[in-house]
């Protein structure tokens, strides 16, 4: 049997970075300690370390380091320490599309971050030496009416506020694909297919397939099923008359209130994100199910 190989990655030789930015999940002693391990090693390797402004606010011990902002002029190498939420927030704010991000897991969850606690020093050394592969991930751009809200890596969730039925119409490239009376709908990317959408009944999408997954949430229309839509399609969700209160959640990071008549548009984001991978995706399905089965 052949080995799975990813097409959309690049492993050309690269120069060592002079500066690396660090972002961490707030309120976690594991994250804090990991950051200090990273800082110590970067010092030894002669790489300048900047700490994200927002991160520094949450940790006394990080306040004396030079700062940077993700949305202003971030470095082109970034290390994220935490869970999926921290990574999602980083990419949502990151203003520099060519930055490469490395993820260190601190905590139980964190499917997208592949460096474990025990290997922090080895992988940071690899990151500085350029010994990794860059994977690009397809993202979605979300609008409320004409207003651009940003790009997301996982999902846009349109959901009831008070468990009262909302009413939605979903259009794919202008064609009505679903009428939903229920809790809401999830529009997910390939990456997001293993997150919220999976719990709501969506399929697992192989990381090499670029698609949108449109997953209805607890609809009265029992015959509805998730839809796999092309990555270049335009998905519009309209809030229709009679709907109860609802909101839009972007990657679980930003919440926006919606009302009847609102149209949320989701389409391919022009800028993918770039993640450094030290282990290949050779075990995607095993990792997926192992993670899920640790929950009981």
Give pairs for 98-101: CB < 8 Å, separation 24+: 98/274, 99/74, 99/75, 99/274, 100/76, 100/134, 100/274, 100/275, 100/276, 101/273, 101/274, 101/275, 101/276
Catalytic choice (84, 114, 183, 262): 84
Nearer Cβ to a copy of itself, position 133 or 291? 291
Q: Would you tell me which residues interact with a copy of itself (CB under 8 A)?
A: 1-5, 157, 159, 162-164, 171-179, 181-183, 193, 196, 198-206, 208-209, 211, 213, 217-230, 233-234, 236, 247, 249, 252, 255, 282-286, 289-290, 292-293, 295-296
Instruction: Determine contact, residues 105/114, Cβ cutoff 8 Å.
Output: yes
Helix, coil or strand: residue 124? helix
Q: How far is the CB of 103 from a copy of itself (least distance, A)?
A: 20
Q: In the bound complex, what is the minimum distance in angstroms from residue 143's beta carbon to a copy of itself? A: 13
Q: Minimum Å distance from CB 14 to a copy of itself?
A: 27
Q: Does 84 participate in catalysis according to the annotation?
A: yes
Contact 233, 173 (CB under 8 A): yes
- Closer CB to a copy of itself, 90 or 193, in the complex: 193
If the CB atoms of residues 99 and 215 are measured against a copy of itself, the closer one turns out to be 215
Please give the distance of CA 58 from its chain centroid, rounded to a whole number: 22
Specify the pairing of strand 140-144 against strand 263-268.
antiparallel
Name residue, tokens 């909302």.
166
Structure tokens at 150: 């940003």
Nearer to a copy of itself, 63 or 221 (CB): 221
Place of tokens 């297919």: 193
Beta carbon of residue 111, minimum distance to a copy of itself (angstroms, whole number): 11
The set of catalytic residues is 84
């Amino acid at each position: 049997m052949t080995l799975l190989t990813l097409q959309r990655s690049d492993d050309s030789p690269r120069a060592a970075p002079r500066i690396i930015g660090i972002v961490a999940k707030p309120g976690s002693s594991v994250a804090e300690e990991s950051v200090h391990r990273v800082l110590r090693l970067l010092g030894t390797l002669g790489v300048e370390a900047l700490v994200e402004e927002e991160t520094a606010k949450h940790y006394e011990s990080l306040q004396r380091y030079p700062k940077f902002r993700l949305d202003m002029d971030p470095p082109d190498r970034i290390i994220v320490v935490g869970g999926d939420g921290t990574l999602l927030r980083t990419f949502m704010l990151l203003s520099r599309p060519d930055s490469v991000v490395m993820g260190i897991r601190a905590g139980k969850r964190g499917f997208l971050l592949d460096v474990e606690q025990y290997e922090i020093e080895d992988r940071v050394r690899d990151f500085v030496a350029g010994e990794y592969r860059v994977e690009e991930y397809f993202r979605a751009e979300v609008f409320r009416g004409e207003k651009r809200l940003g790009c997301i890596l996982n999902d846009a969730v349109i959901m009831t506020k008070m468990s009262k039925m909302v009413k939605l119409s979903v259009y794919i490239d202008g064609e009505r694909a679903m009428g939903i009376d229920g809790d809401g709908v999830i529009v997910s990317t390939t990456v997001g297919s293993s997150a919220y959408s999976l719990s709501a009944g969506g399929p697992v999408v192989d990381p090499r397939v670029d698609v949108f997954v449109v997953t209805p949430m607890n609809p009265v229309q029992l015959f509805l099923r998730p839809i796999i839509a092309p990555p270049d399609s335009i998905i519009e969700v309209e809030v229709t008359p009679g709907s109860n209160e609802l909101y839009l959640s972007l990657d679980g990071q930003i919440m926006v209130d919606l009302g009847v008549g609102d149209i949320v548009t989701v389409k391919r984001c022009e800028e993918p994100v770039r993640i450094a991978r030290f282990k290949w995706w050779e075990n995607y399905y095993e990792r997926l199910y192992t993670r899920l089965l640790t929950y009981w």
